[in-house]
Amino acid sequence: MGNDDNRRRKSPCNCCLSVFKWIPVLFIFGVIAWSYYAYVVELCVLKTENNVAKIFLLIFYHIALVLFLWSYWQTINTPVGRVPDQWRIPDEEVNQLFRADNQETQKRILNNFARNLPVTNRTINGSVRFCEKCKIIKPDRSHHCSVCSCCVLKMDHHCPWVNNCVNFSNYKFFVLFLGYALVYCLYVAFTTLNDFIMFVQNENGLAVSAQGQPGGSGMGRFHILFLFFISIMFAISLVSLFGYHIYLVLVNRTTLEAFRAPIFRVGGPDKNGYNLGRFANFCEVFGDKWQYWFLPVFTSKGDGLYFVTSTDQFGNGNAQRYEAMGRTAAGAATSNRLDADHTDKLIDAIPLNNHQPHLELDNVQSSSNNHPLIPSSQVTVNIEQTADAAAATTKTAPTLNNHVVDMIGDQVVPKDHFQLNGHPTAIADDRIV
């Protein structure tokens, strides 16, 4: 982060703003403290006469409260997952990037730097994702948080109720916090429901409580009544939020990805790009050891920089898979595919301002002028004059809006340029994964 950003963070205005950010957290702790007094003192100690019932009420209440506060504290106190320094672009290349006169030049500078980084996500124009504020290549599923002033690994959203980013480091804690908060509210609501019913049925409930029950008081009954109402209101809001995040866990999607699908280098936008199956998705967040699933201790799988995609998990044998910027792997041998060598190395051999897509067809004229610096064997997509070969070509030439993407130069060639014996080839618009 630059010096200007550090000065802004240390300014008096930002110091005051950081104090105000803790107001929602202090409000939650205040509500919890009042609910503890209302439940333990007014309900259990002063009102409940049966000692056995009193013990059971206090035991289960404190179990729910401890798990709730533990997960809440972990969500608040866990540091934000920041991007490591090796993803940062040197200042010389940043200056070169900003001085570039066209978008293609910028794309090639970013591609060259990210060749050995495990990134598969792209921007809408097909470029490697780059943060202009942090001067880094963004890892997959990471985003810049304007509140935290940094790029966050697997960012879900910034939550003011925890004064922290919900991200790879604390997402399990956040889901457990919502779940245990819901359990806490429902437990309090169900155990105070009888008092609420008695209060509604008996118009003289306050007088009866004050005279007929030892230790009872009119104010104590109001504490219990308000405790029931507040627990019900919080439970109603929590059940929808908790249910939504459970759904996101089971489909392996963040809140940001639910609103805008991630764009992959091969295949384009895909909201199910990280969906590995419900159990595998659950284990990616909660870990493989079931003993720790419901405890707020970190057990999430991975490092927040690389994530297994659905193509890695269920990729068919004929699909070409891109593991990183500079590596390609084929699940099975195919007759018509790009060379499995490092495709990004071909970019370096092409002048930045003079690159044209080069696709050579058998017995047909090339769709563009041959480039003298590139051997034709490295940049050739052979299209056999058979129906089977044409069908195989559909799996190696990703299309977008009736255009074929040149995977070497990240450029788009109109589908009509492909001719076979005077007729368009059968290149389908299936998504390539």
Catalytic site positions: 159
Residues in CB range of 355: below 8 A, 6 or more apart? 104, 347, 371, 409, 411
Written as six digits, the tokens of 12 are 């008096």
Residue 111 near residue 128 (C-beta atoms within 8 A): yes
In one-letter notation, the amino acid at residue 362 is D
Cβ atoms within 10 A of the Cβ of 63, count?
A: 14
Half-sphere exposure of 19 (CA within 13 A, CB side): 6
Q: Say how far apart CA 379 and CA 381 lie, in whole Å.
A: 7
Burial (0-12, 13-18, 19+ Cβ within 10 Å), 413: buried
CA angle 80, 88, 287 (to 5 degrees): 40
* Alpha-carbon dihedral angle through residues 329, 332, 334, 337, given to the nearest 10 degrees: -10
77 exposed, middle or buried (CB, 10 Å; 0-12, 13-18, 19+)?
exposed
- Residue 140 near residue 272, CB atoms below 8 Å: no
